[in-house]
């Protein structure tokens, strides 16, 4: 049982060791229950994710004319560009959404409304995406302490 607990702790430490994204987040409030969120992921973070994805892929990539894992990195990048871009896009979206949830403390009552297929990893520059989110309304509670109730 102790071995399993150590494995779980090591997995948690690995997840915590992952560097945070340097997100630029703009939250607009069109109404009391809606938030329009615009997220910009800087190029440095995109490049870091691409580097990690290609590093993992190079060791097992199958390219004609080369043994598995022995193909030059440039060939692997050219051959698997679309697949890696899709994988990196999904990873960036998931990580940025969890970081937004932690940082912004949005009390969401619905799933974010955005089209994942419309988001693409650009060849140059930052990646930007927008979504709408339905949240619990913010309002101040009146001072109710000390009120007396009269019975009829």
Domains of the chain with bracketed CATH: 20-134 (3.30.70.1050)
| Mean pLDDT calculated for residue range 68-88 | 88
Write down the pLDDT at residue 47. Answer: 94
pLDDT digits (tens, 9 = 90+) for 13-50: 544 567 888 999 999 988 888 989 999 999 999 999 99
Q: Cα 28 vs. chain centroid, distance in angstroms? A: 19
Q: Cα 32 vs. chain centroid, distance in angstroms? A: 25
Distance from C-alpha of 99 to C-alpha of 107, rounded to nearest angstrom: 14
User: 50 near 87, Cβ under 8 Å?
Assistant: no
CA-only gyration radius of the chain, Å = 23
Query: Tokens in use for 111?
Result: 């799933």
Write down the pLDDT at residue 113. Answer: 82
User: 71 near 63, Cβ under 8 Å?
Assistant: yes
Q: What is the pTM of this model?
A: 0.74
Highest mean pLDDT among 44-48, 58-62, 100-104, 108-112: 44-48
Distance from C-alpha of 81 to C-alpha of 79, rounded to nearest angstrom: 6
User: 35 near 29, Cβ under 8 Å?
Assistant: yes
Q: Is the pLDDT of residue 1 over 50?
A: no
The per-residue pLDDT of the chain, averaged, comes to 84
Q: Which residue has the higher pLDDT, 148 or 125?
A: 125
pLDDT classification of 5: cutoffs 50, 70, 90: low
| Mean pLDDT calculated for residue range 54-62 | 85
Write down the pLDDT at residue 16. Answer: 53
Distance from C-alpha of 128 to C-alpha of 142, rounded to nearest angstrom: 40
Q: What string of H, E and C letters represents the secondary structure of 81-138? A: HHHHHHHHHHHHHHHHHHHHHHHHCCCECCCCECCHHHCCCCCCCCEEEEEEEEECCC
């Amino acid at each position: 049982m102790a071995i399993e607990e150590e494995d779980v702790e090591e997995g948690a430490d690995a997840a915590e060791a992952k560097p945070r994204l340097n997100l630029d987040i703009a939250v607009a409030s069109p109404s009391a229950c809606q938030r329009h969120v615009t997220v910009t992921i800087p190029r440095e973070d995109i490049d870091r994710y691409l580097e990690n994805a290609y590093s993992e892929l190079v060791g097992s990539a199958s390219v004609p004319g080369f043994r598995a894992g022995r193909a030059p990195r440039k060939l692997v990048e050219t051959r698997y560009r679309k697949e890696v871009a899709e994988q990196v896009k999904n990873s960036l979206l998931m990580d940025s959404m969890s970081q937004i949830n932690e940082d912004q403390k949005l009390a969401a009552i619905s799933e974010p409304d955005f089209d994942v297929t419309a988001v693409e990893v650009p060849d140059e520059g930052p990646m930007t995406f927008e979504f709408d989110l339905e949240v619990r309304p913010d309002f101040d509670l009146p001072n109710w302490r000390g009120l007396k109730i009269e019975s009829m």
